[in-house]
Amino acid sequence: MTAYVIRRLVWGLALLIIVCGLTFVLFRVLPTGNPAVLRAGRDPQPHLIKEIERVLGLDKSLPAQFWEYLKGVFLHFRFGYSYYSRQSVLSLIGERLPATISLTLGAAVVWMIAGLSVGIVSALKRRTLWDRGAMGGALVLISAPEFWLGLLVLLLFSNDIGKLKIFPGSGSYVGLTYDPWKWFTSLIMPWCVLAAGSAAVFARLMRGSMIETMEEDYIRTARAKGLRERAVIRQGVRSSINPIITLLALEVGVLLGGAVLIESVFNIPGVGALAYHSIVQSDFEVVQGTVLLASMFIILANIAADVGYAYLDPRVRYG
């Protein structure tokens, strides 16, 4: 098991280098504009642009630039500086990480609880009005783009522009340590919107898995033993969760991608918003830093899911 995890971690590192390369190439090939020009101000002198390029290291050949960057990240744990604020990428991300973690972890909790419980109830009440309603609703949530859903929710429930003024609206986020209650209320809408799509996917997956499990022979055995229906269902849930766990890791990527949009819609100062702004400003090293961070989370989530799967299912052993 330990050997397996180490092997996966090494592969994860290789994957991060590839991700670095891809971001690098995409950023240079796509017409995002020269950061030096953007930085030089209005009607810049050519020699000023040259000077900025030299300072930022943009005058070197692309492979040399890439090599410099890789060396910095993987050997010295140096992620570079923003072209604009000259702040280090690490500190920029570090400042914004708590907001993003608040958003994504909370959304993951909403997503798991809502998705799994709706799925379980739907499976047990199969073909009833509840089941059809829940699955129809899930389909709508899967299809709805998050930014649209976010705007819709703001329009309906935010206390500034909403029809029903219930929750604090866009831009109301404060840190957890500053005011826990305000932190909580300001995140209710972003959590639900960010979780909606994933919760809907998982409700449908869980329903299918649960329906299949409840037909199993061992569920019949559980009933034949005279277990209470609640205990029988618990046995069913225990088995149905397993295949879902593997998909959890895939969904983490969707969640992080969604965070970029949700942070922009709800004006939450998180890493997603940072990534968005740095892309708009061609702030390469910041983009690279946020992409690397997101990739690392996804890779770690995948390894955690595999390890969790082995823990949950005694028949699974990794060699």
Kindly state whether residue 224 participates in binding other proteins, applying the rule CB under 8 A.
yes
In the complex, least distance from residue 243 CB atom to other proteins, rounded to whole angstroms: 12
In the complex, least distance from residue 286 CB atom to other proteins, rounded to whole angstroms: 45
Q: Give the separation between CA 287 and CA 172, rounded to whole angstroms.
A: 25
Considering only 60, 126, 223, 277, the residue that binds other proteins (CB under 8 A) is 223
Kindly state whether residue 228 participates in binding other proteins, applying the rule CB under 8 A.
yes
In the complex, least distance from residue 313 CB atom to other proteins, rounded to whole angstroms: 6
Question: Scanning residues 144 to 203, which ones bind other proteins (CB under 8 A)?
Answer: none
Kindly state whether residue 225 participates in binding other proteins, applying the rule CB under 8 A.
yes
Considering only 216, 243, 245, 305, the residue that binds other proteins (CB under 8 A) is 216
Kindly state whether residue 313 participates in binding other proteins, applying the rule CB under 8 A.
yes
Considering only 222, 249, 287, 294, the residue that binds other proteins (CB under 8 A) is 222
Residues touching other proteins, count (CB under 8 A): 21
Interface map 230-249 toward other proteins (x if CB under 8 A): -x---x--xx--x-------
Considering only 63, 136, 226, 319, the residue that binds other proteins (CB under 8 A) is 226
